[in-house]
A and B are shown apart, each in its own frame.
Chain A
Amino acid sequence: MKVDQSLPLEYSTEQNKNNILGFWVFLGAEIMLFGTLFAAYFVLADRTGSGPTGVEIFQITPVLIETFILLTSSFTIGLGINAMRKGNLKAMITFYVITLLLGLSFLGVEIYEFVHYAHIGAAITVSAFTSTLLTTLGTHGAHVTFGLVWGILIVYQLIKRGLTPETANKSFIFSLYWHFLDVVWIFIFSFVYLKGMI
């Protein structure tokens, strides 16, 4: 394998460059996926049938906690990539573990939120509004869950194999994914929660 030393490790082989471009294209598809979910949400948000409306069920506290946790995790994974570029494996692993722990706590709050909705009569089957709300949030939550498992596997490989072109490439791609989930959350926060609370 030809390794180009003048480039960052994650870009250093042809296959690595392919992987990163491929993942960017995949994120393009993900934008369409969430774009479609948002389109459905905008269409169905006011169609509450006999169920509750957004104003009635949204609580600002868990949403703010989730937002702060996720934004912070996006920052810590950025620090992780910074450590990777400097070749500091130990700091990198630490930041990745912090990121994953933040992801886990985000998920915990979101599960609490879902249970709460079900408890107050806003389960997924109640109306078009609750269906689309919980599907949109759930798709994001499923992505976070998937990211947690993926991230654990990457940390495991970092510990076991150290920083190689492959592990650096995987870690970098994982960071792209994590940032993307953060971007999606910003849209959820603005257009689902804030818009829904007015």
Chain B
Amino acid sequence: MDYFERFAIPHPSPAIYASMVAIGFTVIALIFVLTYFKLWGYLWREWLTTVDHKKIGIMYLISAIVMLFRGGADAIMMRAQMAVPNNTLLDAQHYNEIFTTHGTVMIIFMAMPFIMAFMNFIVPLQIGARDVAFPRLNALSFWLFFMGAMLLNISFVIGGSPDAGWTNYFPLADNEFSPSVGTNYYLFALQISGLGTLMTGINMIVTILRMRAPGMTLMKMPMFTWSAFIANVIIVFAFPVLTVALTMGTFDRLFATKFFTTTDGGMDMLWANFFWVWGHPEVYILILPAFGIYSEIISTFSKRNLYGYKSMVGSMVIISFLSFLVWTHHFFTMGQGALTNSIFSITTMAIAVPTGVKIFNWLFTLWKGNIEFTTPMLYSMLFIPTFTIGGVTGVMLGMSAADYQYHNTMFLVAHFHMVIIPGVVFAMLAGLHYYWPKMFGFMLNEKIGKITAWVIAIGTLLTFMPMFFSGLDGQARRMYTYTESTGFGIWNMISFIGAIGFTIGFMLIVYNVYYSIRYSPRNIGMDPWDARTLEWATPNPVPFYNFAKQPHVNSVETFWDSKNNGHELFPEPYEDIHMPSNSGMPFILACIFFAWGFSFVFSMWIPAILSTIGIFICMALRSLEKDPGYYVTVKEIKETEKKLRGVQ
């Protein structure tokens, strides 16, 4: 039994035992449902083995929403604990675990897959491609991300959660101060999903550079594709830094190397530097595609072309470059001296310039536009002012001298939530409403959608504005409680009320999905929003081969031109379409990666070696395999198209 003791949780509580039971029942219920309705074969054929970028996009979307609720549950527990002074709902250790997993889940396993969902689903359609450049690699990317997410999510019931913050600073994260296996989970979950992200980066870059429809030059790409391209370039250059940092951290914990130790020459600040050399570009990996979605939505619902297309592209290129030159601003107070701090202050504030250019471009797109307030547009309009609050407080934090006052306070917490929530979460929800008909063939209810948007926006302000005040007053972040005499009580109570508002908002989204599945009309045609770009030139939902004929592009808004200016979008005759075959290999390989990570987390060397060998066997089999794909004949295409377009 000694062997199994390692799986026990070091710091149990009734809530965790309840979660164990709940997880157990959910798994049993899932297995039962799948068996009862005989869905195992369907699941394997249609989803687990798929290499279709659209289905992979939908799987990313579902994972992101599930993780949103996991991270949201963490958030509401934190706000509940902080709502009143000297609260005993959570103890210090649980609070540590919860803010750690909240941050990790929300950034790596919620925001990233949400972005990936839209990149996967939309980019090939926007550029008129049949799929991504490497469809099978794309499936592997998804499954690696998914297994990484699962690995982190089982941590709190098997072995213990990570508790060193999502930044995982050493020496706190070293064995001495974090003795549970939680930090190992963090290191391996991020490593595995990071590999997947890197593969997506390569895949998307090649897709966008090599697979655009005839006539689509780089400067005729839709803005979302541009933003996805830049974000993926950042991925390729930022993620290897994380890979190395995580490897070094892993070696320190498992093999007693001396990278980040405080003895034998180790340097703990090296971790902080590496982490943020990845971490800051990561912020822009999230925000640039979000900006791309806003650009699409604002242009569509202003019935105007996007103002300042070239300056939009230029500002994104500048942001991507500057994003690698600001990492030190995350730790101005950690002793690198006035000169270094000054340089990084200037680069930090410089980023506000191209970001400002983008904000003004959106405003000028609205100017004299014929604005239509749909739900996606409402999110975009709520984004601009709230994001600006987050942005200007970011400039405040960027001034290194002043940062000594703000550092590690709730002011910082308020700042980054006020940029990430309006910047990324609103964009994802806007994109969800905007692209829902494209993905599923019906619209989400507009009325519920608009109410939700207001509830979430007010929830955001109510939750995070008070933190600016309590933070300036000196409330430190990551402290699990405070005394009544500090006077922070009222601010934290308002925050808690805001967090409840958030919860109601997300419940409304679930209700909206349910309501729309039941009552939304299905005969919406292919262009329900009167949109402007190529993805709307396909039927809803999109057939598996995307475009029946090769589209030809004449401008940034080629679909708009085909509707209104007589551009002929599909001048070519039907041709047989080459499609990649499905494969179970990505899923199986990712499962082995899961076993690999799990074995290392618990230092179980024999399974670790076996799974390592398994990984290499999978790769060798892939190398030896012949994968010619198959052809869809013209007859099949015509029949499918007739069926899909017949409903209009």
- Is A44 within 8 A of B265, CB to CB? yes
- Is B206 within 8 A of A22, CB to CB? yes
- Is B623 within 8 A of A49, CB to CB? no
Proximity bits, B270-313, A CB within 8 Å = 1, else 0: 10001001000000000000000000000000000000000000
- Is B267 within 8 A of A128, CB to CB? yes
Residues of chain B in range 602-631 having any CB-CB distance to chain A below 8 Å: 616, 620, 623-624, 626, 628
Distance, CA A26 to CA B131, complexed state (A)? 20
Distance, CA A132 to CA B266, complexed state (A)? 10
- Is A135 within 8 A of B248, CB to CB? yes
Distance, CA A14 to CA B628, complexed state (A)? 13
Distance, CA A37 to CA B245, complexed state (A)? 9
Complex contacts, A28 vs chain B, CB 8 Å? 236-237
Distance, CA A130 to CA B239, complexed state (A)? 25
| Interface flag for B205 (CB, 8 Å) | yes
Complex contacts, A29 vs chain B, CB 8 Å? 198, 201-202, 236-237, 239-240
| Interface flag for A190 (CB, 8 Å) | no
Distance, CA A132 to CA B578, complexed state (A)? 48
Which of A59-67, A84-92, A119-127, A181-189 lies at the interface? A119-127
- Is A33 within 8 A of B243, CB to CB? yes
Tell me the nearest residue of chain B to A132, going by C-beta: B259
Which of A74-82, A98-106, A108-116, A149-157 lies at the interface? A149-157
Complex contacts, A19 vs chain B, CB 8 Å? 134
Given contacts A17-B210, A40-B244, contact A128 B134 (CB under 8 A): no
Residues of chain B in range 4-27 having any CB-CB distance to chain A below 8 Å: none
| Interface flag for B648 (CB, 8 Å) | no
| Interface flag for B88 (CB, 8 Å) | no
Tell me the nearest residue of chain A to B211, going by C-beta: A18
- Is B248 within 8 A of A25, CB to CB? no
Residues of chain B in range 228-286 having any CB-CB distance to chain A below 8 Å: 236-241, 243-245, 247-248, 251, 255-259, 261, 263-267, 270, 274, 277
- Is B624 within 8 A of A37, CB to CB? no
Distance, CA A108 to CA B299, complexed state (A)? 61
Given contacts A36-B245, A44-B265, A124-B255, contact A21 B236 (CB under 8 A): no
Tell me the nearest residue of chain B to A164, going by C-beta: B626
| Interface flag for B209 (CB, 8 Å) | yes
Would you list 15 pairs from A and B whose C-beta atoms are within 8 A, ordered by A residue? Answer: A18-B210, A18-B211, A22-B206, A25-B205, A29-B198, A43-B267, A44-B259, A49-B266, A50-B264, A51-B264, A124-B257, A128-B261, A130-B258, A131-B258, A135-B257
Starting from the known contacts A1-B628, A43-B267, A153-B620, 18 additional A-B residue pairs (CB-CB under 8 Å) come to: A21-B209, A28-B237, A29-B237, A29-B239, A32-B236, A32-B237, A33-B243, A36-B240, A40-B270, A49-B258, A124-B251, A125-B256, A125-B258, A126-B264, A128-B258, A128-B267, A131-B258, A153-B623
Using a CB–CB cutoff of 8 Å, the interface residues on chain A facing chain B are: 1, 14, 17-19, 21-22, 25-26, 28-30, 32-33, 35-37, 40, 43-44, 47-51, 124-132, 135, 149-150, 153-154, 156-157, 166, 170
